[in-house]
Structure 1
Amino acid sequence: MRPCLPVLLLRLALLVLACRAWSPSGGDPCPPACRCLDSRTVDCRGRGLPRVPSPFPLDARQLLAAGNAIREIPADFFLLHHDLAYLDFRNNSLERLAGGAFRGSGSLVYLDLSYNNLSRLDAGAFQAAPKLAKLSLGHNRLARVDAGAFRHLEQLQVLELHDNRLRTLSAAALEALPNLRALRLDGNPWRCDCDFAGLFRWLEENQAKLQGGLSEIQCTVPVEEITVFLSELTEASFRDCKFSLSLTDLIIIIFSGVAVSIAAIASSFLLALLVNCFQRCAPSKDDDEDDDDE
């Protein structure tokens, strides 16, 4: 007996609902440990995931992956998910950003990597994400940020580098951000030495971009080993740095001095050889007198 029409419709409806629950985007699966409330948002927060969930809808715009144990962002991640505009990786275990990790991330606008274990940022780390408007890197272990780390981020408006291990930072890294509106640098063990002078000059000129101005940032004066707020310093505090020599300058001077000394010794040796040779080869005075007598 053929089933009646209402039963067929009911089965079809259940099948459609099951498919939607499994694949909100109508074809791309939702990771088992995550929730996909719609085809644009994948919510994987607090699931204890050791790696980036995969696969998930290719046309997703938001990935919420905070509160997991993710250790790296795969190098080809954005090549498959190039529509992602919002990426939340707070409170994970990221230790480094692999080269090319953001390749294909041309749609990325918001990136939160705070509360991770990042220790350094290399040159061009985010250059494949030119539309990035907010970058959060607070509460990491950053001790080194390359002068070209934020290259090509001309749309970046908010940069957070607070609560890291930075002692110095090249002003060139910030000068590469023409649209920067808000900057956080507090909570770092800054050293007020000559390497910090360039950054201090930039901060003085752009202190309106700091939430609390210069009074929110502290640094340690090397000689006295005391901690002061940047608001207590002036450009005159670094006037002696204009006459100080960097390690590179010292190496050049030492090398030049050694080279000159070696050249002088070599010249003196050659001159002595020439004089000795001349004296041996030239006829003596006695020989000249004998020739005259004959």
Structure 2
Amino acid sequence: MAVVSLLMLMTALAFAAPDWMDCPTPCKCKWSSGKKTAVCEGGGFSSLPDNLDGEMQVLYLSDNYISRLARDAFKSVGLLNLQRIFMSNAALQEVHRDAFRDLIILVEVDLSHNQITSLHPETFHGNERLRVLYLNGNPLRRLVQAQFPPLPHLRSLELDGCQLEYVHRNAFVHLSALETLSLRQNLLRNLSEEVFMNFAHLKTLVLEGNPWRCDCELRGFRDWFLLSKLHSVPLTCSEPERLADRLWENVPSEEFACPPRVFVSPQAQVQAEAGGNVSFGCHVTGDPEPQVSWLYEGYPINHTWLVIEAEEGLLDKWANISVYNVSDADTGVYTCIARNILDTVSLNVTLVLPEVVTATTVSKSEGSLVWWGLVIVSVTLGCAAVITTIAVCCVRNRNRHHRRNLKASVSFTDQEKKLLDVSIATTTDRGTGSCEALGPDLELVEPPVHITIESEPLPLAVFPPPPEFSGSVLPTAAYGNIFISVSGQAGVPRNGDPAAEATRHSPLRQHGSPRHRRR
């Protein structure tokens, strides 16, 4: 009887489930394809389950709410023997670069249809046995240089529907064993053939469903792709409009072209000095090679003193113009024209000379009493003393300007204004400097001041006129050199005989504008 009981106990133990199959609810643990498998799909998990047996080889965690895989995510819960991990549609947003660290026998990972926007290039570092990787449906947008670490056994990589707009030419440089690459249903308009130069074993390349722009940037890849025999579904053009919906293989290679583009240098308006030299040009790109020409005021250029030079290049060139001894005959609009089989484009450059603007205003008066007082004082002191004082002040003022190289408008002191006004009123004979024409019966007339202002159209260092010579009639443009001349009637005797006309020129030079008055 004892023997029978012992045999029954041993039989029950033989048919009892092993401990690793005692999964926490809602997971189910079982053998599947000869692997210890934990099925935790749709279990409402917000993190990895931490009470699974450490011998688990396959883990299904799809349709959960695990937003982040932290550093050592699987190692920290004792799942170091995992070979396959399935986490599609699990609300993943972030994957730490070391999330899969120390999973040295991992061969397959599925992270499809999550919200992963980027993967660190060192993600999967050390998972050297990885053979299959699914990243479909994640908004990755860009694959950067060396996007994946060395994975010498990776055979299949799927990146469908990842909103990819850019793939670096060296994105897959460490995936030399890749046999299947799928990039369907992305936003790719262009690819370089260099992306795939490292693939000695590539057998399948899936690219349909991308909005390809069939221009010169895609020509190299188009030619390589059609020769590679890797495609099973023909690719079509989305852009430009003239090639929309046409199959790559039905569009000749030379029609994968780019229209010309023109850029002017240094700017759209160039200022030159009369009698000087000036150079300007245009930068042209295009494929096929664009032809470049220049027009002046809409007509072919025939100036014998104008030199056109070109730095030749098939797809990128400069066409420069040099004008020597510039005059008014050279000013105007120059047009750079570039053309190839697709289009003709142009851009204008305007050559200008500085403008000269003349305006007249009236000096500010100190009042009739001041004028009469100054006349009496000047007559009493003598014409010779007044003229000497004015000459000394003018010489000192000019020397001080040149010595200090002032960069502000010249302004007269009250004393200088009085002396200047006296000199204007008392100087009637410019040849002799005689004061004999002055008399007590003179009626003084306030003289007009004529100001010539050179306006600089370009943003040079220019300054407004001094306040003594400002008025509402001055132009609003920037001010350069200012020249002031004063002329007027010195006085009329009471007996009706006209007095000699008094004229005095007083040039006012504003430092800060290096040019003299334009010839």
Calculate the TM-score normalised by the size of structure 2: 0.41
Q: Which residues of structure 2 form unaligned runs of 5+?
A: 30-34, 41-47, 259-286, 292-312, 323-519
Query: Counterparts of 1:154 and 1:251 in 2: how far apart (Å)?
Result: 33
CA deviation digits over 1:244-280, x for unaligned, max 9?
Answer: 69xxx899855x969xx8xxxxxxxxxxxxxxxxxxx
Query: Counterparts of 1:56 and 1:152 in 2: how far apart (Å)?
Result: 30
Q: Which amino acid aligns with 2:124?
A: F
Alignment match of 1:124 (pick from 146, 153, 156)? 146
Alignment match of 1:44 (pick from 45, 61, 70)? 61
Q: State the Cα RMSD in Å.
A: 3.9
CA deviation digits over 1:94-144, x for unaligned, max 9?
Answer: 111113112112111000000111110011112322211000000111000
- Is 1:32–2:54 an aligned residue pair? no
Q: Is residue 143–residue 171 contact of structure 2 (8 Å, CA) maintained in 1?
A: yes
Displacement after TM superposition at 1:84 (Å): 0.9
CA deviation digits over 1:14-48, x for unaligned, max 9?
Answer: x984555359899xxx9429988972101111122
In our comparison, the structure showing a higher alpha carbon Rg is 2
- Is 1:61–2:61 an aligned residue pair? no
From the superposition, tell whether residues 242 and 21 of structure 1 become closer, same or farther in structure 2 (CA, over 3 Å): farther
Q: Which amino acid aligns with 1:243?
A: E
CA deviation digits over 1:167-215, x for unaligned, max 9?
Answer: 1011100122111100111111110011001110111111x21122xx2
Of structures 1 and 2, the one scoring higher in RCO (CA 8 A, sep 6+) is 1
Moved more, 59-68 or 71-80: 71-80
| Structure number having the greater strand percentage | 2
Q: Which amino acid aligns with 2:110?
A: D
Aligned length: 244
Alignment match of 1:102 (pick from 115, 118, 124)? 124
From the superposition, tell whether residues 36 and 136 of structure 1 become closer, same or farther in structure 2 (CA, over 3 Å): farther
Q: Which amino acid aligns with 2:220?
A: G
- Is 1:243–2:289 an aligned residue pair? yes
From the superposition, tell whether residues 36 and 92 of structure 1 become closer, same or farther in structure 2 (CA, over 3 Å): farther
From the superposition, tell whether residues 100 and 197 of structure 1 become closer, same or farther in structure 2 (CA, over 3 Å): same
Q: Which residues of structure 1 form unaligned runs of 5+?
A: 262-294
Q: Equivalences for 1:159-238 in 2 at 5 Å?
A: 159-206=181-228, 208-212=229-233, 215=234, 217-222=235-240, 224=242, 226-238=244-256
Q: Is residue 34–residue 42 contact of structure 1 (8 Å, CA) maintained in 2?
A: no
Q: Is residue 83–residue 105 contact of structure 2 (8 Å, CA) maintained in 1?
A: yes
Percent of aligned pairs sharing the same letter: 26
Moved more, 106-115 or 40-49: 40-49
CA deviation digits over 1:146-185, x for unaligned, max 9?
Answer: 0000102111000000100111011100122111100111
Moved more, 226-235 or 79-88: 226-235
From the superposition, tell whether residues 167 and 56 of structure 1 become closer, same or farther in structure 2 (CA, over 3 Å): farther
| Structure number having the greater helix percentage | 1
From the superposition, tell whether residues 239 and 114 of structure 1 become closer, same or farther in structure 2 (CA, over 3 Å): closer
Query: Counterparts of 1:56 and 1:86 in 2: how far apart (Å)?
Result: 19
Q: Which amino acid aligns with 1:21?
A: D
Q: Please name the residue that 2:157 is paired with.
A: 135
Q: Which runs of 4+ in 1 moved over 6 A?
A: 23-26, 33-38, 249-252
Moved more, 165-174 or 90-99: 90-99
SS at match of 1:159: strand
Displacement after TM superposition at 1:237 (Å): 2.3
SS at match of 1:47: coil
Q: Is residue 55–residue 81 contact of structure 2 (8 Å, CA) maintained in 1?
A: no
Q: Which amino acid aligns with 1:135?
A: L
